[in-house]
């Protein structure tokens, strides 16, 4: 679970800087950055439940880290604010 927290923290810390560098205005940046906190609040307990059920927090961390990397790369290559 620590890898997910680390990757999410890294992504969240540079997200607003990245968005301003590609020309997003303040309302677009806040529309994108605000849900990331809500996402973490909602999905962190779900990941804990899954880790408890399969008895392998390491497996859940690996899969969630891979998903964070994939979606981070997709987000970085996207020019659409909806994505």
Contact 54, 60 (CB under 8 A): yes
Q: Look up residue 23 and give its two tokens.
A: 């020309």
pLDDT digits (tens, 9 = 90+) for 30-78: 887 787 778 778 888 888 899 899 998 888 888 888 887 888 788 777 7
Tell whether 45 is covered by a domain: yes
Count of structural domains within the chain? 1
Tell whether 68 is covered by a domain: yes
Tell whether 39 is covered by a domain: yes
pLDDT at 1 over 60: no
Determine the structural domain holding residue 67 and report its residue range: 2-77
How many CB atoms sit inside 10 A of residue 25's CB? 10
The closest alpha carbon to 46, from 32, 60, 62, 58, belongs to 60
Q: Say what the pLDDT of residue 54 is.
A: 92
């Amino acid at each position: 679970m620590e890898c997910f927290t680390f990757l999410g923290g890294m992504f969240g810390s540079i997200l607003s800087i990245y968005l301003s560098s590609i020309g997003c205005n303040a309302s677009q940046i806040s529309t994108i950055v605000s849900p990331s906190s809500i996402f973490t609040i909602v999905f962190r307990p779900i990941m804990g439940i899954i880790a408890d059920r399969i008895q392998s927090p390491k497996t859940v961390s690996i899969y969630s880290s891979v998903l964070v990397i994939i979606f981070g790369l997709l987000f970085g290559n996207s020019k659409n604010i909806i994505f």
